[in-house]
Amino acid sequence: MERSPLSDAARRRVLAATHQAMRRAERHWRLRLPEVAVHFDLSGGRAGTYQVRTGVRLLRFNPWLFSRHLERCLAEVVPHEVAHLVVDCRWGRGVRPHGPEWQAVMASLGAPARTTHDLPLEGVPVRRERRVPYRCACRIHQLSARRHHWAQRRGARYRCRECGALLEWLR
């Protein structure tokens, strides 16, 4: 098993920043946030994510990005994911992920309300997703393996933004 690039001291700083952001949000929004598991197992180009798995709330962070850009991640990524937790607990699942509620929480945490990071990915292991060719009336498209799965197994249908035609799988 590959050793994490994030030091124990850096992990402690991330955990402290996470708890500090949660306490600040609790005071501002007058709510009690549940305990949340924090994992350092995210890979690829994503810096962080908030998930609920079988009722368990989970914050996941990318140890590669945090090890290279710790200060920015503490200032931007940690509040971003804590804001998702706050929105989920305060407003539930019926709101847009980066909608006005999330933006208000970000403002209360004193963090920029950006939806994506612009951290350099040099030296960060990034998984490349397989692409699958699809055709429309005007050209060939390359759908991600995930979208291909949705189209083939779950009945999703995709249209070309240019010509409006349904995409067909090139087998």
Instruction: Output the pLDDT for position 92.
Output: 92
Q: CATH code at 80?
A: 3.30.2010.10
Examine the domain organization and report whether 65 and 137 are in the same domain. Answer: no
| Contact (Cβ atoms closer than 8 angstroms) between residue 29 and residue 37 | no
Answer yes or no: is 153 within a domain: yes
Task: Give the global pTM.
Answer: 0.74
Examine the domain organization and report whether 37 and 95 are in the same domain. Answer: yes
81 labelled catalytic: yes
Examine the domain organization and report whether 103 and 41 are in the same domain. Answer: yes
**Cα angle vertex 147, ends 146, 153, to 5°?**
90
Examine the domain organization and report whether 104 and 141 are in the same domain. Answer: no
Containing structural domain, residue 144: 131-169
pLDDT digits 0-9 by tens, 24-68: 999 999 999 999 999 999 988 899 999 998 889 999 999 999 999
- One-letter amino acid of 124: V
pLDDT digits 0-9 by tens, 145-169: 889 999 999 899 999 999 999 999 9
Examine the domain organization and report whether 34 and 98 are in the same domain. Answer: yes
Q: Which of the residues 26, 35, 76, 81 is marked catalytic?
A: 81
Closest among 23, 56, 17, 62 to 39, alpha carbons compared = 62
How many domains would you assign to the chain?
2
